Amino acid sequence: MTVIAPHLFDEAHQRIAPYIRHTPMLPAPQLRGDLHPQLLLKLENTQVTGSFKVRGAFNTLLQMTAAERSRGVCTASGGNHGVALAYAANRLGCPATIYLPARASADRVARVEAWGATVVRHGELWDDAHIAATAYAAKNNIPYIHSFEALPTVIGQGTMAVELMADVPDADLYIIAIGGGGLISGVATALKQRNPSATIIGVEPTGAPSMRVSVAAGQVTTLTNVATFADTLSPRAVSNTTLALTKASVDQIVLVSDTQMLTAMRWLWTESNQLVEPSGAASIAAIQSGAIDIARYSKPVAIICGGNAAAEPVFQAYQQNAKD
């Protein structure tokens, strides 16, 4: 059984604090009264590199020696972990090679390359890139930094709970998106240690329910098919570590469709001026769709986990209008 001592989250939070942002809690807008009046949004989309992933990246690299970092690191990513690791490696003087699947957007590739990392495109999904990246790391004798399996990564993501408890100690519901499970397993574990009575609900796409299927089966189960536009929420399988921690601390997992996430993305933009990617809107989609009976709770928190949506088409449209 995987056990994480509470002090490890506090130590990690202190370790990474100079490199990350304590992201804000935004009250949900009451322009139309369509959501819970006490709902709070944890804006990890405003985090350094645009998602929570930088927490785990820094917590991992900062526990390596300078000599170890100088050899370089490698990872596979759906996008956000790759950007986060590229940034952390850049800040710490560490070469980085990032494997991305073919479906990763050009915007995400550009974000990784902007921090000086080497990008290798391989396979259709994260799982394909992962196999190639681990082989590359082994061949070159450099550390492979898993995007959600390793405990330093999980603990790093769990540092968000330290901030949540400091900012809203009496919250009674947390809604968290699930990809490989690194975020929800770390945050849920730390939250339940500090606030055992809180309810924690995970959200997955209907086309990639890898955690829900694995929880139901009692073991990691690989999906035969993945079909969602939420590329950062679409591994074919979670890990033994994230599954064990999720089973121990998460109360429920609900599913949302791509259409529901798109609706939530539009709502976050029009009502909150927050431009987010599909994963960042998953928690709101679960509320709007009725998958979660949010009225039962007095102070719910929805984690907006990522904001790396491609904005360049917007600027291109304005540029074309200016020419016209």
Query: What are residue 177's DSSP bridge partners?
Result: 203
Q: What is the pLDDT of residue 65?
A: 94
Q: What is the pLDDT of residue 318?
A: 47
Specify whether the CB–CB gap between 99 and 129 falls below 8 A.
Answer: yes
Q: What is the pLDDT of residue 316?
A: 56
Q: What is the pLDDT of residue 311?
A: 59
Burial of 324 (0-12, 13-18, 19+ CB in 10 A): exposed
Neighbours of 210 (CB within 10 A): 27
Q: What is the pLDDT of residues 142-186, one digit of tens each?
A: 999 998 999 999 999 999 999 999 999 999 999 999 999 999 999
Fold match, 6-52+150-304 / 54-140: yes
Annotate 273-302 with DSSP letters as a single string.
-----HHHHHHHHHHHTTSS-GGG-SSEEE
For residue 303, give the 3-state DSSP assignment: strand
Residues with pLDDT less than 70, the chain: 1, 29-33, 310-324
pTM attached to this predicted model? 0.93
The Cα–Cα gap between 252 and 179 comes to 15
Nearest to 312 by CA among 103, 49, 116, 110: 110
Task: Tell me the helix, strand and coil percentages in the chain, rounded to 5.
Answer: 50, 15, 35
Domain edges within the chain: 6-52+150-304, 54-140
Inter-helix orientation angle 106-113/80-91, to 10°: 10
Q: Which residues make Cβ contacts (< 8 Å) with residue 187, sequence separation at least 6? A: 157, 158, 160, 161, 164, 174, 176, 200, 303
6-52+150-304 CATH fold: Rossmann fold (3.40.50)
Distance of CA 61 to the CA centre of its chain: 18
Q: What is the pLDDT of residue 30?
A: 66
The Cα–Cα gap between 274 and 267 comes to 9
54-140 CATH fold: Rossmann fold (3.40.50)
Q: What is the pLDDT of residue 264?
A: 94
